[in-house]
Amino acid sequence: MALQALIFDMDGTLIDTEELHRQAFNAAFIELGLFWDWGPHLYAELLKVSGGVERLRHYIESLPLDASARAQLIGQVPAIHRTKTGIYRDLIAAGRLPLRPGMVQLIGEARAASLRLAIAATSSSENATALLSATLGTVALPWFEAIVSADMVPQPKPAPDLYQRVLGALHLPPADCVVLEDSANGVRAAKAADLVTIAVPSRWTVEQDLSAADLVVPALDALAAPLAEIQSLHRRRSLKSA
């Protein structure tokens, strides 16, 4: 069975956006008068929780607070996240972000081979569109037949909802696709949807357990011919499951 589509996680996989997310969270905390500071080490730990809203809730639950103060902060989470999202979009607009090494080559090779492209993003729909436009330009938006974000499904990664919705939008079975992910939760979500999965860890996720992936590579440019090697992996997995 030939490979029909590539599905990309966005944050951390297509683009190393996590530092911008961290800066946006901290700027939102300052703007809202919250005395929180998410340093790089803490943020790497918080990235084990998928989704900004869920990450904020998890952090608040970890704070030494009484029940009333905790409930009050939990109630502020949507407003905190809205403020963070606006700051994040401003940071994106301030300068174009480069794709991770090898991604431009892979996308170009995939389009030349008439493969279909899709995105399963942990971030919001607005962030996903803004990020694609800032990195590849608005001309690239139609290249991706499905752009599914966490706010479009009941459960975020590691649940398989995002990938199942992408498959539904593409009208393809899992066996026809390969996923590229960077995190343990992303890998778990893709494998739960029965998808062949390649993990390309970022500096934020390199210490996570990615062993459930079918292949782990430090960066796509570590592969001599990214698409050819992805197609080869897909064929091997197809033969194994036949």
Are 118 and 196 in a shared domain? Answer: yes
Are 12 and 27 in a shared domain? Answer: no
Single out the catalytic residue among 11, 16, 176, 182: 11
Are 118 and 58 in a shared domain? Answer: no
**What is the token pair recorded at 3?**
């490979």
Of 93, 127, 146, which one is at a domain's C-terminal end? 93
Are 75 and 130 in a shared domain? Answer: no
Of 93, 110, 140, which one is at a domain's C-terminal end? 93
Domain tally for the chain?
2
Are 117 and 104 in a shared domain? Answer: yes
Are 85 and 134 in a shared domain? Answer: no
Are 109 and 39 in a shared domain? Answer: no
Q: Which pLDDT does position 95 carry in this prediction?
A: 67
Are 169 and 204 in a shared domain? Answer: yes
Residue 79 domain boundaries: 18-93
Single out the catalytic residue among 9, 16, 161, 214: 9
Of 93, 122, 141, which one is at a domain's C-terminal end? 93
Residues of the chain with pLDDT under 70: 95-96, 242
CA-derived radius of gyration, the chain: 18
90 is catalytic: no
Taking the complete model, does pTM exceed 0.85, yes or no?
no
Q: Which pLDDT does position 27 carry in this prediction?
A: 97
Q: Which pLDDT does position 135 carry in this prediction?
A: 85
161 is catalytic: no
Are 164 and 205 in a shared domain? Answer: yes
pLDDT digits (tens, 9 = 90+) for 153-170: 999 999 999 999 999 999
Asked if 199 and 222 touch (Cβ cutoff 8 Å), the reply is: no
Residue 199 sits in a domain of what CATH number? 3.40.50.1000
Are 210 and 152 in a shared domain? Answer: yes
Print the SS3 string covering the chain.
CCCCEEEECCECCCECCHHHHHHHHHHHHHHCCCCCCCCHHHHHHHCCCCCHHHHHHHHHHHCCCCHHHHHHHHHHHHHHHHHHHHHHHHHHHCCCCCCCCCHHHHHHHHHHCCCEEEEEECCCHHHHHHHHHHHHCHHHHHHEEEEEEHHHCCCCCCCCHHHHHHHHHHCCCHHHEEEEECCHHHHHHHHHCCCEEEECCCCCCCCCCCCCCCEECCCHHHCCCHHHHHHHHHHHHHHHHC
Residue 117 pairs in a beta bridge with 6, 144
Are 70 and 103 in a shared domain? Answer: no
Are 78 and 159 in a shared domain? Answer: no
